[in-house]
Structure 1
Amino acid sequence: MIEIVDIYKTFGENAVLKGISANFKAGKNNLIIGSSGSGKTTLLKCIVGLHEPTKGEVYYDKENFTSMNFEGRVPIRKQIGMLFQNSALFDSMTVEQNIIFPLNLFTEMSKSEKLDRANFCLKRVNLEGKNKLYPSELSGGMKKRVGIARAISMQPKYLFVDEPNSGLDPKTAILIDELINEITEEFKTTTVVVTHDMNSVMGIGDNIIFLHNGEKWWEGSNHQIAHTDNKELNSFVFASKFMQAAREKL
């Protein structure tokens, strides 16, 4: 479990996050949603240590991550997997090399062990036999799946995903959501997903926090979100006809 307590983040005069507290549960898909500029990605970066909170604390299974120095954070960071919005694959490396990259940095595994792990991860994301391809040879959906394979290569306890469906067609986006959900359940990871995709919210949103103007305005499940009377949340969630139809079915 990850717990954040009273997180503030300011950049100069701009207060981006204003006292956000939440629990992100193990074995669940924890979604952070909100409109552009609401602070979603900034909050994610504060949780993983890419930004330091101006005020507040982040706990990984009751260990105070915020109070640790760089060296102290290393054991926790080794348990973190991340899928960035643009997949962030190395163009000069093959699929296999991209997946093995964190294993080279953080483990003392043998070459054969690393290859076995890469093959396992590729099989897990349904990309068996794609080892020697380069990112330029992959579709957008395949790049996302390679990004997920790399993110799980270290067998992470915590998985962070930033806008996984950005730039994908609806069918591929659903496949990515299903893959994230399967991995979360299979490995019991604490998965935190930043998204504005309402299909993802309704499909895999076990635990959702809604940010509005840098504050947490609502928290609940995908079933509860369909019946909320929160005006700002309703305006955000039910903007599309699809979501109106989904609400009527729940």
Structure 2
Amino acid sequence: MIEVKDIYKSFGENQVLKGISAEFKPGVTTLIIGGSGSGKTTLMKNMVGLHEPDSGKVLYDGRDFTSMNTHERIPIRKEIGMLFQGSALFDSMTVEKNIRFPLDMFTEQSKAEKLDRINFVLERVNLAGKNKLYPTELSGGMKKRVGIARAIAMNPKYLFCDEPNSGLDPKSSIMIDELIKEITEEYNITTAVVTHDMNSVMGIGDHIIFLHQGKKWWEGSNKEITSTDNQELNDFVFATKLMETLLKK
């Protein structure tokens, strides 16, 4: 479990996070939603150490990540998998080498052990046999699946996904959503997903945290989101659905 306790974060005079507290539980896909500037990406970056909070704590299964120095954080970083918005694959590397990258960096496994793991995660994301392809030879959906394969190569306890459906067609988006949810439940991973995609919210939103003006404004499930009387959340949902409809025309 990941616990976020009273996190504040400012950039100069701009206070982005204003006392955020939340829990992210194993086996549950938690979606962080909100409008532009609401603080959702900043929250995720504070959780993984890309930003340091001004105050507050981030606990990984009771371990105070925020109080640790860079060296002390290494064991937790090894337990974290990340899927970046643009997949962040190395264009000069094959699929196999992209997935092997964290294994080379963080493990002492033999080449054979690494290859076994690479083949396993590729099969898990339905890309068996694509080892020697380069990112330029992959579709957008395939790149995302390679990104997921790399994110789970280290068998992480915690998975962070930043806008995993960005730039994908509806069919590919659903596939990525379902894959993230399946992996979360299958391996009992604590998963946090930053998204603005309402299809994702309704499809895999076991637990949803809605941020508004740097604060946690609402929390609940995708079943509860349709019946809430939270005006700001309703406005966000309506505006997002309207934008998605216009983009499809």
TM score, norm. by length of structure 1: 0.96
Counterpart of 2:162, as a letter, is D
d(CA) in 1 for partners of 2:182 and 2:238? Answer: 27
What is the correspondence of 1:61-80 to structure 2 with a 5 Å cutoff? 61-80=61-80
Which residue is 2:120 aligned to? Answer: 120
Cα deviation digits, residues 10-38 of structure 1 (max 9, x gap) = 00101011000000011000110001111
What is the correspondence of 1:1-250 to structure 2 with a 5 Å cutoff? 1-239=1-239, 240=241
C-alpha RMSD of the superposition = 1.3
Which residue is 1:248 aligned to? Answer: none
Counterpart of 2:207, as a letter, is N
SS at match of 2:224: helix
Report how far residue 241 of structure 1 moved.
Answer: 6.2
Q: Which runs of 5+ in 2 are unaligned?
A: 245-249
After superposing on structure 2, the runs of 4+ consecutive aligned residues of structure 1 that deviate more than 3 Å are: none
Counterpart of 2:111, as a letter, is K
Report how far residue 237 of structure 1 moved.
Answer: 1.1
Counterpart of 1:89, as a letter, is L
Report how far residue 242 of structure 1 moved.
Answer: 10
d(CA) in 2 for partners of 1:182 and 1:108? Answer: 28
Counterpart of 2:123, as a letter, is K
Which residue is 2:247 aligned to? Answer: none
Counterpart of 2:43, as a letter, is L
Cα deviation digits, residues 201-227 of structure 1 (max 9, x gap) = 000011110000111100001111111
d(CA) in 2 for partners of 1:96 and 1:30? Answer: 29
d(CA) in 1 for partners of 2:222 and 2:149? Answer: 26
d(CA) in 1 for partners of 2:140 and 2:242? Answer: 27
Cα deviation digits, residues 171-206 of structure 1 (max 9, x gap) = 100000000000001000000000000000000011
Cα deviation digits, residues 77-126 of structure 1 (max 9, x gap) = 00000000000000110000000000000000000000000000000000
SS at match of 1:87: coil
Cα deviation digits, residues 108-166 of structure 1 (max 9, x gap) = 00000000000000000000110000001111000000000000000000000000000
Alignment CA distance shift 1:40-1:109 (3 Å): same
Report how far residue 7 of structure 1 moved.
Answer: 0.4
d(CA) in 2 for partners of 1:181 and 1:215? Answer: 26
d(CA) in 2 for partners of 1:133 and 1:3? Answer: 39
d(CA) in 2 for partners of 1:17 and 1:150? Answer: 30
Among the aligned pairs, what percent are the same residue?
75
Q: Which runs of 5+ in 1 are unaligned?
A: 244-250
Aligned residue pairs: how many? 244
